[in-house]
Amino acid sequence: MSESKKAGTVALVGRPNAGKSTLMNRCVGEKVAIVSDKPQTTRQRLVGILSNERGQIVFYDTPGVHKPLHRLNRQMVHHAQEALSGADVICLLVDAGEPFGSGDAYVLELISKARAPKLAILNKIDRVRKSKLLPRMARYGESRAFEEIVPVSALTGEGCDLLLELLWRRLPEGEALFDPGLITTHPERFLVAERIREKVLAATRDELPFTTAVVIEHWAEEGDEGLVRISAALLVERPGQKGILVGQGGDMIRRIGTAARLDLEAFLERRVHLELFVRHQARWRDDRRLIARLDDESQLLTFD
């Protein structure tokens, strides 16, 4: 008799830069979420789908839980809390190399209130000595909030097979929630904007990544030529940041554009003509209209 298939949702939650996006990409086997060493890279709840002969796991990669200072940040934390309330299994991701602090205590208290089965995932063990890892594991075990404490390296894959096995065991039986051919529910335009933003994050330092957004303003597919023409705006909050993104003689934005175009051509499997420009939009992170439209990932943004 064949084993009944499982299907359910798994929320990946934790503080910024814990490696949630890297872990989801590893588990799904495809790049769904952009990855950066900058905190607060993930701004929305991202969906990654793993389907195989055992069933389907729908991962929710959530923004890092932090103290919100802008409307955008409040929306990010809301996405994380929303994922907690609806998931079949909750995974708290922790950077195993960082000491336990007040932010960790806050996240631990937050997820302890959720009713779903919980696993503590100590990530980045490839960077941590075993002598330092064991006390961290014991610290989360003492909370009695978790059914399992699982050390992993999302970067190398160590421990990820065990993690997936533990997740399958805890999912309910049922039919697939989405078409098994999908790896995400997000439209191409959203994923393209995210990949462009990833290149901005890679090229910039300090506070600039936190005050930058990417919006797709034009998208045209020329079927006969196998070409996609994309025009995207890089939003910044202060006039001085515009010069940083443009760079001397336009060198920075050209470098970002070249890296993004090569990535998009591999992703879309078509030739891409990419035009990037920088727009100053003061306090966009507190702009209710803009945040709502960024959240509606299927829309093209237009400005008067």
Whether residue 176 lies inside any domain: the answer is no
3-state secondary structure of 24: helix
Residues in the chain: 304
pLDDT tens, residue by residue, 100-111: 888 888 888 888
Res 57: pLDDT = 98
**Residue with more model confidence, 174 or 83:** 174
φ/ψ region of 14 (left if φ > 0, alpha if ψ in -120 to 50, else beta) reads left
Q: Do 164 and 249 lie in a common domain? A: no
Contact 45, 124 (CB under 8 A): no
| Rounded Cα gap, residues 24 and 49, in angstroms | 9
Give percent of the chain with pLDDT exceeding 70. Answer: 82
**What is the strand order of the sheet 118-123 is part of?**
46-52, 55-61, 6-14, 89-95, 118-123, 148-151
Contact 61, 196 (CB under 8 A): no
3-state secondary structure of 85: helix
Q: Do 139 and 26 lie in a common domain? A: yes
- The parent domain of residue 86 ranges over 6-170
Q: Do 209 and 134 lie in a common domain? A: no
* Strand (E) or helix (H) holding 92: strand 89-95
Q: Do 160 and 16 lie in a common domain? A: yes
Burial of 295 (0-12, 13-18, 19+ CB in 10 A): middle
Q: Tell me how many degrees the CA angle 172-174-177 measures, rounded to the nearest 5.
A: 105
DSSP letters of 49-92?
A: EEEETTEEEEEEE-PPP----SHHHHHHHHHHHHHHHH-SEEEE
Domain boundary among 142, 170, 198: 170
Q: Do 144 and 228 lie in a common domain? A: no
Has residue 52 got a pLDDT over 60?
yes
| Rounded Cα gap, residues 43 and 200, in angstroms | 15
Q: Structurally, how many domains does the chain consist of?
A: 2
DSSP secondary-structure letter at 1? -
Q: Do 164 and 203 lie in a common domain? A: no
CATH number for the domain harbouring residue 150: 3.40.50.300
Whether residue 261 lies inside any domain: the answer is yes
Q: Do 69 and 19 lie in a common domain? A: yes
pLDDT tens, residue by residue, 215-260: 899 999 987 668 999 999 998 888 888 888 898 999 999 999 999 9
Q: Do 197 and 157 lie in a common domain? A: no
pTM of the model: 0.84
Q: Do 136 and 256 lie in a common domain? A: no
Strand partners, 218: 231
> Residues 75-85: what's their mean pLDDT?
60
Res 125: pLDDT = 96
Has residue 161 got a pLDDT over 90?
yes
Whether residue 1 lies inside any domain: the answer is no
DSSP secondary-structure letter at 107? H
